[in-house]
Amino acid sequence: MLESIKDFDFKALSIDERTLLAHDIWESVREETEASPLSPEQMAELERRIAESDAGRVKHIPWEEVKQKLLARKRL
């Protein structure tokens, strides 16, 4: 029995088998996310944030800068 998914040797599968496995995993994620749509409150908040961004009222921070700040905090 596998202790962890990391113990599974995916390369032991053929390319066709790995492709099918990846497809099945993706479909399970898609189905679950479609089954759990955003609530009206979440959708309103998302639309509000998009409008703020489109209007230029939001300061955007590049991912690399955010990543560096998080890593620096983690080291403390």
Q: Is the pLDDT of residue 2 over 80?
A: no
Q: Is the pLDDT of residue 3 over 60?
A: yes
pLDDT of residue 5: 82
Contact (CB, 8 A) for 50 and 42: no
Contact (CB, 8 A) for 56 and 62: no
Q: Output the CA angle 8-14-16, nearest 5 degrees.
A: 115
Q: What is the rounded average pLDDT for all residues in the chain?
A: 88
**pTM flag (> 0.85):** no
pLDDT of residue 44: 95
